[in-house]
Amino acid sequence: MLTAGDFRNGMTFEMEGQVYRIVEFQHVKPGKGAAFVRTKLKNVITGAVTEQTFNPTTKVEEAQIDRKTMQYLYNDGDTYYFMDNDTFEQLPLTKDDLGDILNYLLDNMEVKVLSYKGKVFGVEPPMFVELEITYTEPGFKGNTSTGTLKPATTQTGYQVNVPLFVEIGDKIRIDTRTGEYMERV
């Protein structure tokens, strides 16, 4: 059993015969009244997103999610192919199945494919990925001490804000949980 006070992004649980994944959560402690947990939930089977509030002591059943390590091979239009590292079977997934992971997906990258009772509902990228900058405006000398950021485009087409000293051709590390720049590699 899992209590609503223990909720974290990415957790999955069963409620009312459905399986939900926590997209976003927030512990709210108002000045008056009892504390509560505000969540944005995604139904892993239907893909529907709902918002719901819970009492922090509410108990829910944790869902058994299978996480299998697979390797991304290639894409053919809107279909992306992943290979099971043990059996070498290929699994085709659509753009809708992948969502935001497309911002970080590189050829031959190892990812975790998530499934519930045999139905794939998501893909988890590594916590950090290294991507090359393909376009960014040049930085100006003297502006580096202010900590200002500028937009940059990576090899996957992802737009990220980077410090002024980052140039085209640099490799950067991105945190896939937040989508933010971490450091230059």
Question: 36, 8, 6, 37: which is closest to 22 by C-alpha?
Answer: 8
Asked if residue 92 lies in contact with residue 108, where contact means CB atoms within 8 angstroms, the answer is no
Using 50 as the pLDDT threshold, list the residues of the chain that sit under it: none
CATH assignment of 2-62?
Answer: 2.30.30.30
Distance CA 107, CA 4 (A): 38
Q: What pLDDT, on the 0 to 100 scale, is given for residue 87?
A: 92
Amino acid, single-letter form, for residue 156: T
Q: What pLDDT, on the 0 to 100 scale, is given for residue 32?
A: 86
Tokens of 33: 């009244």
Question: What dihedral angle (degrees, nearest 10) is formed by the CA atoms of 105, 111, 114, 118?
Answer: 100
* Whole-structure pTM value: 0.72
Amino acid, single-letter form, for residue 184: R
Tokens of 46: 């239907």
Q: What pLDDT, on the 0 to 100 scale, is given for residue 159?
A: 94
Q: What pLDDT, on the 0 to 100 scale, is given for residue 143?
A: 53
Question: 79, 81, 67, 131: which is closest to 104 by C-alpha?
Answer: 131
Instruction: For 66-124, give the CATH class.
Output: mainly beta
Extents of the domains making up the chain: 2-62, 66-124, 128-184
> What are the DSSP calls for 9-42, one per residue?
TT-EEEETTEEEEEEEEEEE--SSS--EEEEEEE
Q: What pLDDT, on the 0 to 100 scale, is given for residue 68?
A: 92
CATH assignment of 128-184?
Answer: 2.40.50.140
Residue 97 DSSP SS3: helix
Distance between start and end Cα atoms, the chain:
42
Distance CA 173, CA 63 (A): 32
Residue pLDDT, tens place only, 78-103 = 899 999 989 999 999 988 878 788 89
> Do the first three CATH levels of 2-62 and 128-184 match, i.e. the same topology?
no
